[in-house]
Amino acid sequence: MDYQDFDAIDFILDDFFQEWVLHPSPTTDRFWQGWIGQHPEKEPTIRKALIAIQSLDFQGIDSEKFDRNKVLQNIRAAIKTDELKDELDIAWESGETQEDDEVGETIMYSLPSRRFQFKTRYFMMAAASVFLLILLGVWQLVMTTSSVEYATEFGETKTIILPDNSTVVLNANSRIQYYDDGKGQGNRELDLSGEAFFSVVHNKTDQKFIVRSNGVAVEVLGTEFNVNNRRGKTQVVLKSGKILLNVPTNPQSSVTEELAMEPGDLVEVSGQDKQITKRTVNPDKYASWTRNVLVFDNVPLQEVFEMIQDTYGYNITILDEEIGDKMFEAEISTSDLDLILKIVSKSFNLNIKKQGSELVVSKK
């Protein structure tokens, strides 16, 4: 991330900077001390951002009714609006212009691992202005933003109509949490664990629709796409429209890579280092489960059994490793597990036995 062109508001919004201010570690200390040493002209800007973030004191608030992470999310959204951003700029400028000869007192302000001297009066006035503007601009959003959660059990799918009339088909063993301020303002956002197919409606106010899954953000206005978040991998397949992926490239910073997708693109993000692969596919195959059709396009049996485990909740034991390497190609028009197991068993001459919550697979 190139921080050289950042202003105070940019630093306030930056996750890696927030982490250093609120939860300093040797890694963040080393980075920011080195960066400030290389860019001493940015010290005034750094001070402004530090004061604003550290002014947000949430102590004494009922933790059951107050979500600090949600507050910070809404701060980001609020500051990004042109009106509030202009007000914050004015607050800083008015605070800085009030320095006079009578203000001679200096104090030492403790940073996470570094101390700066600065004039008491005008910086504290600027801090107070920012603090009040942020709270006034965000508090209403925080208190009026509600979330609703939908979930499915093993072997169950569910179709959900969201308040904006977008449709979500939720696959088995999956969960979404949708955030809505009830006023059609801000972004439409939801968190996904598992798999879902989205048909997003474009609305008159051009609200973005953002799906967050395992650190990956899928940003759209109106489109159809499938997101699968299983086993440490996030897979996105675009059927129609356009979407923008924001993928974190460094787990210790807020650096992200933006990736535009066209219809037919499949992007998979895997591992802690968020490795990205991209290829062109038939998107209908990846959303076929919404029609109770399972399409296996020359995939290893190991992946078939992983799908069964994720969807139906069975633990699977394969007694011969060679079985998992066999390639399977089929289109099965059913969601009935017994029929799926029967087809796999006959195709490869296998014994598949149910033992409670476990499936044991062996050669005949």
Q: Cα separation of 148 and 180, whole Å?
A: 8
Give the whole-angstrom CA distance, residue 279 versus residue 329.
19
| pLDDT number for residue 181 | 58
Identify the band that residue 250 occupies on the pLDDT scale cut at 50, 70 and 90.
low
Structural domain ending residue among the three candidates 112, 144, 176? 144
Same-domain status, 321 and 338:
yes
Model confidence at 349: pLDDT above 80? yes
Question: Same domain, yes or no, for 122 and 20?
Answer: yes
At residue 170, the pLDDT reads 94
Domain presence at residue 357? yes
294's CB contacts (< 8 A; 6+ apart) are: 288, 307, 330, 331, 332, 334, 335, 340
Residue that is last in its domain, among 254, 285, 316: 285
Mean pLDDT for 46-55 is: 72
Q: What percent of the chain has pLDDT over 70?
A: 70
Residue 314: give the domain boundaries. 292-363
Residue 316 has pLDDT above 90, yes or no: yes
Mean per-residue pLDDT for 244-267?
81
Residue 204, pLDDT above cutoff 90: no
pLDDT tier at 73, thresholds 50, 70, 90: low
Supply the pLDDT for residue 109. 38
Query: CA distances (Å), 338 to each of 155, 209, 224, 286, 331, in order?
Result: 12, 38, 31, 22, 15
Same-domain check for residues 91 and 166: no
Q: Do residues 116 and 198 both lie within one domain?
A: no
Residue 188 has pLDDT above 60, yes or no: yes
- The separation between the first and the last C-alpha atoms of the chain, rounded to the nearest angstrom, is 57
- What's the 3-state SS for the chain? CCCCCCCHHHHHHCHHHHHHHHCCCHHHHHHHHHHHHHCHHHHHHHHHHHHHHHCCCCCCCCCCCCCHHHHHHHHHHHHCCHHHHHHHHHHHHHHHCCCCCCCCCEEEEECCCCEEEEEHHHHHHHHHHHHHHHHHHHHHHHHHCEEEEEECCCCCCEEEECCCCCEEEECCCCEEEEEECCCCCCCEEEEEEEEEEEECCCCCCCCCEEEEECCEEEEECCCEEEEEEECCEEEEEEEECCEEEEEECCCCCCCEEEEEECCCEEEEEECCCCEEEEEECCHHHHCHHHHCCEEEEEEEHHHHHHHHHHHHCCEEEECCHHHHHCEEEEEECCCCHHHHHHHHHHHHCEEEEEECCEEEEEEC
Q: What is the mean pLDDT of residues 273-296?
A: 90
Residues 258 and 326 in one domain: no
Question: Residue 246: what pLDDT?
Answer: 86
Quote the number of domains for the chain. Answer: 3
Query: Computed from CA positions of residues 122, 125, 131, 137, in that sequence, does the dihedral angle turn out positive or negative?
Result: negative
Give the residue with greater pLDDT, 118 vs 234: 234
**Percentage of residues in the chain with pLDDT exceeding 90?**
32
More confident site: 315 or 215: 315
Question: Which of 95, 101, 180 minimizes the C-alpha distance to 141?
Answer: 180
Q: Is the pLDDT of residue 50 over 90?
A: no
Specify the pLDDT at position 41: 85
pLDDT of residue 99: 41
Please state the rounded mean pLDDT for residues 272-280: 87
Q: Decide if 3 is inside a domain.
A: no
pLDDT in tens, 84-112: 455 455 445 544 444 444 333 333 334 45
Residues 28 and 156 both lie in one domain: no
Verify that 36 and 53 share a domain, yes or no: yes
Specify the pLDDT at position 55.
Answer: 57
11 and 42 Cβ atoms separated by less than 8 Å: no
Task: Work out the mean pLDDT of the chain and round it to a whole number.
Answer: 76
